[in-house]
Amino acid sequence: MILTDTAIEQAIAEGSIVIEPFRRECLGSNSYDVHLGSTLAIYREAVLDAKKHNAVDCFDLPAEGLVLQPETLYLGVTEEYTETHRHVPFLEGKSSVGRLGIDIHATAGKGDIGFANTWTLEISVKQPVRIYAGMPIGQLIYFETSGESSVPYSRKAGAKYTTRSATPIESMMFRNWDEGNRCWK
């Protein structure tokens, strides 16, 4: 089941959902609009390697916006910090953003119970488009779960994205590679 606006507000009041900053006007009938933070990142290397740490360069979006180019992967971040303790959050792009040819995530649209952070966005565009810090970029939809989670994301031993960050976080896939055993974990 998807939470409605009143159920989202009730979960916030109970502390099982945290959205900072929370702005009532961003609450839709069954979702919450999130906004593009002021920092983007791009990978330094043209060829990425899943077994290695791929460094990024972070930069602030200028006030006049930035024109994104096709065939470049940009990492963005939401202005909003969120926590979910009993629900599964899904991040979807807003239709107005999609109609500009902007994709905000390649595969990482689902969060986990226990996720507590800003959302890193994997942004790509179909044609050049100017974006701005603070623009609505996506919407969070919350699903009810059945049963308690035995190990929420924040306590999971292999969780790679638990350090609170106001900047985009690059892929940590390399942490899944076990060099000693020469296999993926």
Name the active-site residue from 9, 83, 92, 122.
Answer: 122
Q: How many helices (H) and strands (E) are present in the chain, helices listed first?
A: 2, 15
Q: Rounded to an integer, what distance in angstroms lies between the CA atom of residue 44 and that of residue 96?
A: 30
Residue with tokens 């593009």: 36
Known catalytic residue at 122: yes
| Helices of type H across 72-178 | 95-98
**Rounded CA gap, 175 and 124, in Å?**
24
Task: Give the residue numbers marked as catalytic.
Answer: 122
